[in-house]
Amino acid sequence: MSLFRFPLLAALLAAAAGVLAAQSADILPEESLRGWTRIPIPPVDGLKPELQWRVDSAHRELLCSGRGQHEWLRYDKLLGDFVLDVDWRFTPKGNVKYNSGIGVRLSQYGELWAQAQTGLSGGYLFGDNLVDGAIQRFNLSKQMKENRVKPAGEWNHYQVRAEGDRITLSVNAAVVSEVSGYALRRGYLGLEAEGHEITFRNLRLQIIAP
């Protein structure tokens, strides 16, 4: 029996499939961090023994103490096009230069990467891209449309969309940074540890294309 004989049923099924495809999934790690891997920055440094990541299951939060090496906590699923939503905040520590980031389109060990910078000076995209066979750094801090990042202790919401060769960063509901021509079309997500205590929550991933 062909669904084309029942156009209303076919339309309802198509709409239901579209809703399911558009749903986002909660990717907050388990307490064991299963499905996530620590990757040193730079990748040749090797991992140090101290674990600076901890999941607070009661509050549904992931805490990085900042008392460890510079590294990614990499989500181990290889992704194509996607939208990532995440909240983050720094723990207030006085007059310090807070620094961390959310990595997208990372190569397996972080040789290539794009990063949504998390810092009080604003959110923007930068990273290492592959251009004409060579690794080339890009930094869009000067092209940032506005600084919408809130002070340490307050929650910020980032949305990162990676689609085709374009990556777009929205900070607290407004687009602030976009890059096109990014070579790596499939890669990994990562949360960065860079010496500052930072908490992440509401990590939600929507797959656009595998």
pTM given for the model: 0.88
CA atoms within 13 A on the CB side of 160: 29
56 contacts: CB under 8 Å, gap ≥ 6:
62, 63
CA atoms within 13 A on the CB side of 38: 20
**Burial class of residue 149, CB neighbours in 10 A (0-12, 13-18, 19+):** buried
* Residue 175 pLDDT: 98
Q: How many helices (H) and strands (E) does the chain have?
A: 1, 15
What phi and psi, each to the nearest 5 degrees, are found at residue 18?
Answer: -65, -40
* Residue 92 pLDDT: 96
Q: Which two tokens stand for residue 162?
A: 């990676």
Residue-range domains of the chain with CATH: 26-209 (2.60.120.560)
* Residue 95 pLDDT: 86
* Residue 193 pLDDT: 98
Q: Which amino acid, residue 6? A: F
Q: Which two tokens stand for residue 190?
A: 């990562």
| Sign (positive or negative) of CA dihedral 159, 61, 152, 101 | negative
* Residue 7 pLDDT: 58
**Burial class of residue 104, CB neighbours in 10 A (0-12, 13-18, 19+):** buried
What are the residue ranges in the chain where pLDDT is below 70? Answer: 1-22
Per-residue pLDDT of 103-145, as tens digits, reads 999 999 999 999 999 999 999 999 999 999 999 999 999 999 9
Q: Residue 118, Cβ neighbours under 10 Å: how many?
A: 26
* Residue 94 pLDDT: 87
